[in-house]
């Protein structure tokens, strides 16, 4: 049995882990329609350079699990770099940049590998190429962790239990067959989840599940709703460092809680005199999915 002192240290170690969220890393001008999910490659390079300069060490969820099992010590400043959707440029652009600094990352891939384009991006006006089987395997061989992003990238909260279960379980099984290795991490499509989906993620064999803008501000408080920091397209050292500060995560969490509370109060006020308020457009979770 661990001593209270060791338990306290363990809790401190939990909360010092930072988890970053990226989507697209591009080498072209950022279109306003998808500016929310894109970072320029030169900016990304600068951000990784700054992380290295500031003494951060990139780890994966697999590394963190080894820490929980007592098989690995955490570095002084651990950071987990994650990518949702598995766009093709992760192999061609992101991989060499991270290799230059000896940093791994976690890439969340849809399990249906017949999906070669990001069909879920049609609402943004276009779709983008995704990693193919060979590229996914090469990333794994290079030390990247491959996690599941469901089978087809749906809003899991709108599916039947059977459909959601298939999205969670089958994606893990197919990726494990491809990689010949366990897949233990998951990212909820659009960052959308509920208690039932979280429970299914655990039952499907995942040890970690990532949200986007929801979940407690401190890492480790809920390993099935891991809040991540969506990195903005800035190479300003001050702005980038601000995003890494614990207070940033806390303030974002507080903003989310207040917005959620306000939304619930509006919905529960249901009198006819308040119908105009109730019918006002409230930014949905899908619209705010990457914040």
Residue 158 has pLDDT above 70, yes or no: yes
For 195-220, how does the pLDDT look when each residue is reduced to its tens digit (9 = 90+)?
Answer: 999 999 999 999 999 999 899 888 99
Answer for the pair 201, 150: CB distance below 8 angstroms, yes or no: no
The pLDDT, as a whole number, for residue 32 is: 64
The pLDDT, as a whole number, for residue 279 is: 31
Average pLDDT of the residues in 3-8: 41
pLDDT-derived band at 54 (thresholds 50, 70, 90) equals very high
Any idea where the domains of the chain sit in the sequence? Answer: 4-247
Average pLDDT of every residue of the chain:
86
Residue 266 has pLDDT above 50, yes or no: yes
CA nearest neighbour of 13 among 66, 53, 59, 67: 67
Answer for the pair 241, 249: CB distance below 8 angstroms, yes or no: no
The pLDDT, as a whole number, for residue 267 is: 55
For 109-144, how does the pLDDT look when each residue is reduced to its tens digit (9 = 90+)?
Answer: 999 999 999 999 988 778 999 999 999 999 999 999
**Exposure of 289 by Cβ count < 10 A (0-12 exposed, 13-18 middle, 19+ buried)?**
buried
Residue count of the chain:
291
> Token digits for 28?
């072209």
| pTM recorded for the entire structure | 0.86
The pLDDT, as a whole number, for residue 209 is: 98
- Percent of the chain topping pLDDT 70: 81
Choose the weakest-confidence range: 40-49, 118-127, 256-265, 269-278: 269-278
CATH topology of domain 4-247: TIM Barrel (3.20.20)
The pLDDT, as a whole number, for residue 33 is: 64
How many CA within 13 A on the CB side of residue 255?
Answer: 9
* C-alpha torsion 245→146→176→218, nearest 10: 0
């Amino acid at each position: 049995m661990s001593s209270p002192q060791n338990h306290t240290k363990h809790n401190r170690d939990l909360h010092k882990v930072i988890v970053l969220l990226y989507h697209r890393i591009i080498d072209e001008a950022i279109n306003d329609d998808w500016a929310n999910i894109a970072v320029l490659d030169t900016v990304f390079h600068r951000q990784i350079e700054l992380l290295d300069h500031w003494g951060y060490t990139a780890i994966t969820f697999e590394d963190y699990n080894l820490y929980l099992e007592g098989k690995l010590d955490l570095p002084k400043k651990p950071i987990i770099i994650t990518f949702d959707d598995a766009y093709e440029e992760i192999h061609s652009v992101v991989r060499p940049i991270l290799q230059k600094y000896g940093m791994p990352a976690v890439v969340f891939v849809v399990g249906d590998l017949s999906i070669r384009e990001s069909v879920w991006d049609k609402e943004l006006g276009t779709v983008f190429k995704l990693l193919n089987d060979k590229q996914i395997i090469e990333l794994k061989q290079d030390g990247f962790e491959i996690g599941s992003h469901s089978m087809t990238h749906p809003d899991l909260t709108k599916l039947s239990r059977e459909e959601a279960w298939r999205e969670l379980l089958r994606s893990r099984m197919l990726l494990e067959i491809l990689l010949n290795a366990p897949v233990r991490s998951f990212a909820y499509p659009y960052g959308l989840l509920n208690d039932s989906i979280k429970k299914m993620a655990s039952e499907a064999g995942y040890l970690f599940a990532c949200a986007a803008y929801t979940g407690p501000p401190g890492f480790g408080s809920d390993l099935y709703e891991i809040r991540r920091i969506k990195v903005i397209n800035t190479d300003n050292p001050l702005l980038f460092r601000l995003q890494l500060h614990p207070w940033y995560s806390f303030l974002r969490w507080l903003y989310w809680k207040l917005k959620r509370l306000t939304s619930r109060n509006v919905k529960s006020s249901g009198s006819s005199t308040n119908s105009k308020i109730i019918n006002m457009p409230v930014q949905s979770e899908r619209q705010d999915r990457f914040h």
